[in-house]
Structure 1
Amino acid sequence: MGSGTFELDAATQLAHAMAAAIARGLGVRALSLKGPIASHYSLRPPRASADADILIEPERFAEYCSALESRGWHTRVGRETPALMPQHSMTYIHPEWPCDIDVHWMFPGFFADAAEAFDALWSSREQVSVAHCPVQAPSKAGSAVIMALHAERDRRSPKHVEERDLVSTALRERFTAAERDEFVTIAYAGRAAWTLRDYFLTADLGAVVVDADAEQQRRWALFSNRVDDASSVAWWQRVRTAPWPQRPRWMLRAIWVSRQDMPRNDPDVLPSRREMWSYQVHRWRRGSEATMRYFLNRR
């Protein structure tokens, strides 16, 4: 089965079904997120997704990833880099599938322990049919929390602004009192009330609890307002905070990416030197522009 033999939307739905089946076989708790789940609850218009998002109970994340890898899925080649927010997922690809599978061990915007946030979503889960197969998914309220957190990750993107408006409207106009209360309960349990403060205000959900500390608030605000430039800003922050003797090494890593470390799907195919230089030049240009925007906006 080649990647061109079925459409992206069908592939993504089948990926959700397959991911759920793998979890059942392992006895691992797994929740399908976003995509067809959000469409099922009318939290976003139906549309094809490029990936299937799966949230795994954190203690068994590595076990689940190993099972996925045993079925031919693998991560893209790429080096580990600094980030404004902690790594929250692993992206898996397969040569015969046109979609990715994003396996999450936590979801950004929750500041509680990852296991506590997962349990809050799992406790009110529902079974949803995706590709005519049963998958476990957050409830309507839990899915609204996930979609709201996802929208808050990029406050400048028109698509995310649309998603934010859709969730806010649903909370105000279509959610029952019980569903609104459940939204608040999950937000509190996952320490996401501060992240979702705008939804609390616009949907009149009650007082906003500041459940993120000052450093978490700073990093989230920086990330959500600079998501397009997040990589460059994270590199700058890493260089700036490194001990003086280590700064030249981090600056070199920020500037140069070896051919072996260039992002690519096939680990056995090394990019050509021409491709390497094209990638480096594009990266330098993008990084310079992002760094300039960061410093201009700090003024």
Structure 2
Amino acid sequence: MNSLLSGFRELVRGEKLMAYDDPRALGTSLSLEEAVPLVTAFAGQLAARHGVRMLVLKGPQAAADGLRGPRSSYDADLLVDPSQLDLFVEALGRAGWTTRPAPGFPMLLPPHSVSLSHPGWSVDIDLHWNWPGFLMLEADAFEILWNRRRRVQLAGAPIDVPSRADAALILALHVLRESRNLTQVRRRAAEYQFLVEAVNADPSTRALVRDYARELNAEQTANPFLRALGFTDFEQPSADAEYDQHLQAWLLHQASDHAVAGWVHELSRAPLWRKPLVAVHAVFPSPQALRAADPFIGAGPWQLARGWWRRTRRGLRTAASARKALQRTTELHAS
């Protein structure tokens, strides 16, 4: 591992992963515990070289902060200054990273990140320009988080991370956003309980989480977390139309068991003449869209058919409940 770190520092200084004769020999042979810190450190150094403001989210630092138990991350979560997103994506592209194609399916929440992969690494970079749950302008939310940042060491390189209280709020919003999703329910529930107990054990962090949630317009989105911390008095939601729209999108997403809810919502909003077209696209997406939505689908028509059936079966199983949940959430939000 020490030799890998030494080689990685040379790689960072050279700014090109392709400096190795065979980059796969470095990245794909590593475990997740080794690869994620190295890729994160590389991204931090690349951002610094290009003057890009970037914060590292979740990952190994969450465990170092005592906000999550040790476990493997599957990607490097980064939050970049929204105004510098294109600049950083271009810099990553010159280092061999390519943007994963998006399926283009309807979503309940607006786009907030892009995933990048590299042929020499077994982990992705998940590059965010916004963190769902902060119901304010993306640039304003980043500025607030950036002004409270910390500098820590990861894989022998300095990186910027949010304050501990901001990190706790970010983790809570991540869990709450997917609280009804059918995958990894037990793990998320255990991590959420761990987070609540960790924050409650630190009175200063607990108080800051409440203050920061208010400052970042996250009192409503983080409401269950704040109540679990013992807070009960909250400001009334803003009457601003844009805030109201984003809050409703959050609540709709949170109430959904499966990604099929995006299609159900799209179908409900479509004019009568367009509904059949939406339904056909939902049931029979293009092969490119299907593979973008499920990168684990193998090559060949048989693997594609199996992937389509898995998706269709999940959709049929959850479509009715998704429709009811969306209708119930819309009615509650309107009342």
TM-score between the two structures when normalised by the length of structure 1: 0.89
Correspondence for 1:122: 146
State how far apart, in whole Å, the 1-side matches of 2:83 and 2:177 are. 25
C-alpha change, 1:260 and 1:194, in structure 2 (3 Å) is closer
Which of the pair is proportionally richer in helix?
A: 2
- The Cα shift of 1:271 comes to 4.1
Identity %: 30
- The Cα shift of 1:264 comes to 5.2
State how far apart, in whole Å, the 1-side matches of 2:316 and 2:231 are. 42
The counterpart of 1:85, out of the listed 109, 128, 148, is: 109
Letter in 1 for 2:163: S
The counterpart of 2:228, out of the listed 192, 202, 206, is: 202
1:224 aligns with 2:254: yes
Correspondence for 1:111: 135
8 Å contact from structure 2 (residues 47, 54) kept in 1 = yes
- The Cα shift of 1:34 comes to 0.3
- The Cα shift of 1:206 comes to 6.2
8 Å contact from structure 2 (residues 103, 292) kept in 1 = no
- The Cα shift of 1:52 comes to 0.6
Moved more, 111-120 or 192-201: 192-201
1:169 aligns with 2:197: yes
State how far apart, in whole Å, the 1-side matches of 2:113 and 2:71 are. 23
Mapping of residues 147-296 of structure 1, within 5 Å = 147-156=171-180, 157-176=185-204, 179-205=205-231, 207-211=233-237, 213-226=243-256, 228-229=257-258, 231-263=259-291, 271-295=299-323
- The Cα shift of 1:97 comes to 0.6
State how far apart, in whole Å, the 2-side matches of 1:270 and 1:155 are. 29
Matched residue SS, 1:101: strand
8 Å contact from structure 2 (residues 57, 77) kept in 1 = yes
The counterpart of 1:33, out of the listed 51, 57, 77, is: 57
Letter in 2 for 1:33: L
Q: Deviations over 1:10-56 (max 9, x none)?
A: 10001110111111011111000001111111000111100110000
8 Å contact from structure 2 (residues 135, 218) kept in 1 = yes
Q: Deviations over 1:84-140 (max 9, x none)?
A: 111110011111111111000001111111111111111111011111211000011
- The Cα shift of 1:81 comes to 1.1
8 Å contact from structure 1 (residues 117, 189) kept in 2 = no
8 Å contact from structure 1 (residues 200, 208) kept in 2 = no
Letter in 2 for 1:262: L
Moved more, 276-285 or 112-121: 276-285
Q: Deviations over 1:155-213 (max 9, x none)?
A: 2422222222222222221242xx33432332122210111222333323462224465
RMSD: 2.4
Moved more, 18-27 or 252-261: 252-261
Structure 1 residues not aligned, in runs of 5+ = none
8 Å contact from structure 2 (residues 196, 229) kept in 1 = yes
8 Å contact from structure 1 (residues 200, 207) kept in 2 = no
State how far apart, in whole Å, the 2-side matches of 1:143 and 1:4 are. 29
TM-score between the two structures when normalised by the length of structure 2: 0.80
8 Å contact from structure 1 (residues 125, 138) kept in 2 = yes
State how far apart, in whole Å, the 2-side matches of 1:279 and 1:110 are. 34
Letter in 2 for 1:196: A
1:131 aligns with 2:155: yes
Letter in 2 for 1:277: A
State how far apart, in whole Å, the 2-side matches of 1:35 and 1:46 are. 9
C-alpha change, 1:98 and 1:105, in structure 2 (3 Å) is same
Matched residue SS, 1:278: helix
Letter in 2 for 1:174: D
State how far apart, in whole Å, the 2-side matches of 1:279 and 1:166 are. 34
C-alpha change, 1:64 and 1:41, in structure 2 (3 Å) is same
C-alpha change, 1:211 and 1:105, in structure 2 (3 Å) is farther
Q: Deviations over 1:62-94 (max 9, x none)?
A: 211121122111123343110011111001111
State how far apart, in whole Å, the 1-side matches of 2:232 and 2:309 are. 50
Q: Deviations over 1:195-252 (max 9, x none)?
A: 12223333234622244655434332332232x41x2111111122112222222222
